[in-house]
Chains A and B, each alone.
Chain A
Amino acid sequence: MPSSIEAGTALETRTYPVTRADLVRYAGASGDFNPIHWSDRVAGAVGLPGVIAHGMLTQALAARAVAEWTADWADGAPAQVVELGAKFTNPVVVPDDDTGIDLVVAGTVKAVDGDLVTLALEVTAGGTKVLGNPRAVVRA
């Protein structure tokens, strides 16, 4: 880990587009075939504003940013994550078009304690925060 990584260090914001095709792909990879992530009919029937991204896809993309940031610290090898967590505070509605919606992941180093680094994240879609208190602790 470079010595420039210290409490308060801002990390480069990442933007990941999420399309319906990404939801289908994530469903297959994760085994989460909840129809609210692919069927407008079912999503509407249970009172959702539309097909929404898996909360776990959103959290996985937050973890992807952590992996990409920490890989930059160590010649390409992502750091081991020790803790990861978030609340799913707002749904990420994914339109049925070719561009989808951009998920934007910002991060700041919150604390450095030996080889443990705590990262505070901010994850937004369409300008709205979609994760509550997303954070990660990595061994770097």
Chain B
Amino acid sequence: MSLDSTLVGRTFPATAPYRVSHEKVTEFARATGTPYAADGPVPATFPIVLAFAAMNDFLDTVGVDLSRIVHGEQKFAYERPIRTGDVLTTALTVASLRQIGGNDIIGTRSDVTDADGSLVCSTSAVLVHRGGTA
């Protein structure tokens, strides 16, 4: 199944507001062994928690099974550090879509914004949707 090329440029509804807690960041830091102190920077890949939720919503909407997705690329660009107490929402936009060898190569951009609507972190991902026959 190929995805519809009219998805390109579409922005999906933002995720529900997510409050960054010290406990959640600590759990994430421990799962990756990353040094983290209460007043220090959160692990650099922590926004994936938000971007992943936005991606799950997107995949549900377009009817793609998560097990057919392999991550191809991930980038983060920070406007400011994430702090505990931040209330963040994430909106995913389909940036590009192409088909190679029966796979969909989906380029996405997910912008993480704070309660004031200011951009905190821009994330971009390439998702490989494995067509296959299994």
Question: Do B35 and A78 have beta carbons less than 8 Å apart?
Answer: yes
A80-107: CB near B (< 8 Å → 1, else 0) gives 1111111110010000000000000000
**In the assembly, what is the distance between CA of A71 and CA of B33, in Å?**
14
- Interface stretch, picked from B3-11, B46-54, B87-95, B105-113, is B46-54
Contacts of B49 in A (CB 8 A): 30-31
Known: A30-B28, A84-B44. Is A56-B74 also a contact (CB below 8 A)?
yes
Question: Do B33 and A29 have beta carbons less than 8 Å apart?
Answer: no
B77 contacts the other chain (Cβ, under 8 Å)?
yes
Where chain B touches its partner, the secondary structure class is mixed
B117 contacts the other chain (Cβ, under 8 Å)?
no
Known: A67-B34, A84-B76. Is A31-B45 also a contact (CB below 8 A)?
no
| Cross-interface CB contact of B67 among A34, A64, A86, A136, cutoff 8 Å | A34
Question: Do A77 and B33 have beta carbons less than 8 Å apart?
Answer: no
Which bracket fits the contact residues of A? 35 or more
**In the assembly, what is the distance between CA of A98 and CA of B126, in Å?**
32
Question: Do A46 and B132 have beta carbons less than 8 Å apart?
Answer: yes
Known: A35-B67, A46-B134, A67-B43. Is A60-B76 also a contact (CB below 8 A)?
no
A28 contacts the other chain (Cβ, under 8 Å)?
yes
B82-104: CB near A (< 8 Å → 1, else 0) gives 00000000000000000000000
Contacts of A59 in B (CB 8 A): 45, 74
Interface residues of B (CB under 8 A from A): 27-28, 30-35, 37, 40-41, 43-45, 48-49, 52-53, 56, 66-78, 81, 126, 130, 132, 134
Interface residues of A (CB under 8 A from B): 16, 22, 25-26, 28-36, 42, 45-48, 54-57, 59-61, 63-64, 66-68, 71, 76-88, 91, 132, 136
